[in-house]
Amino acid sequence: MAEKQATLPIEGMTCAACATRIEKGLNRMDGIAEASVNLASERAAVQYDGDAVTLQQVVDKIEHLGYKVPVETLDLQIEGMTCAACSTRIEKGLSRMQGVQTAAVNLATETAKVTYIGLKQEDILTKISQLGYTGRLKKEEGESVQESPTQRNMRRLRNTFLVSALLSIPLLWSMVGHFSFTSWIWVPEWFMHPWVQMVLAAPVQFIIGARFYVGAFKALRSGSANMDVLVALGTTSAYVYSVYLAWQWQIGELHHPEMYFETSAVLITLILLGKWLEASAKGRSSQAIRALMGLRAKTA
């Protein structure tokens, strides 16, 4: 029995139920000794029998449950290479490590780029050392470090929220005019047009909100429900019913349809805002923890 340990980053968890669901799913797998998921750090610690199950199968199981295991990238400076055989030897040695997706070594620039899942940076540096070479992180020499998955997720959520908010503002503005206590606020006439509202809400519902449909499908496929199911069901109902009312208005059945396009669009926008704020808070916490760990002595 070859017992191994891996720590996997996980994207897509929204509550403690998500963490519990992943834990139960992993612990049911043959070869898994123990699986523990931390919602705050968005990581899963897995102990498994390397002879019975592979790390890739663990990753596939998490993704089948409706979550994502992001691939991490490491840029290294390599010392000690003298010929093409050296770079080939490092590439082959790293590629054989379970969890390494790709390893590319450039002899001319003495650099290496490694993409991996479930490994620590120290594991990769130790492997390079065992092969007879010295590897160092580029950031130690003032080189630029690639954007981390957390930073990339924060940037993506921010941009998505801004686009969604831009499309939702006219819909929210039109909703304000329906209340008696805000009837004094001027609302452009074309904001009230049913087809204009539908065109504004459609990208928010089906392009920006596609992530909720994907998450809902994966959750239902595995026999459970999560927040994505609720969001997809609620916003789709509001959107489809509004399209029906708009069509009734078009054929003359209704004169002043009370549509709910703003409900679906604004709901998705607010949820994205919450996810962005949550990711930002987690990102700041992670940076603080890394800064604290950086204070420890490197040698003793």
Tens-digit pLDDT profile for residues 91-112: 999 998 888 889 999 888 888 9
Report the distance separating Cα 176 and Cα 182, nearest Å. Answer: 6
The mean per-residue pLDDT over the stretch 3-22 comes to 85
Lateral strand order in the sheet of 43-49 = 3-9, 43-49, 32-38
Cβ atoms of 59 and 8 closer than 8 Å: yes
Rounded to a whole number of angstroms, the distance between the first and last alpha carbons of the chain is 34
Whole-number percent of the chain with pLDDT over 90: 26
| Helices and strands, number each (H, E), in the chain | 9, 7
**For residue 152, pLDDT beyond 90:** no
For residue 205, what pLDDT band results from cuts at 50, 70 and 90? very high
Is 3-65 assigned to CATH 3.30.1020.10?
no
Which of helix, strand or coil describes residue 47? strand
Is the confidence at residue 145, as pLDDT, over 70? no
Alpha-carbon distance 110 to 116, whole Å?
A: 20
Distances (CA, A) of 108 to 77, 83, 95, 137, 142: 11, 9, 20, 17, 19
Task: State the pLDDT at residue 290.
Answer: 66
Q: Is the overall model pTM greater than 0.75, yes or no?
A: no
- The pLDDT tens digits for 45-96 are 898 888 888 888 888 899 888 888 888 888 898 887 878 888 888 999 999 8
Fold adopted by 74-137: Alpha-Beta Plaits (3.30.70)
Confidence of residue 147 (pLDDT cuts 50, 70, 90): low
Q: Classify residue 224 by burial, with Cβ atoms within 10 Å: 0-12, 13-18, 19+.
A: middle
Query: Three-state SS for 48?
Result: strand
The whole-number average pLDDT for the span 282-292 is 72
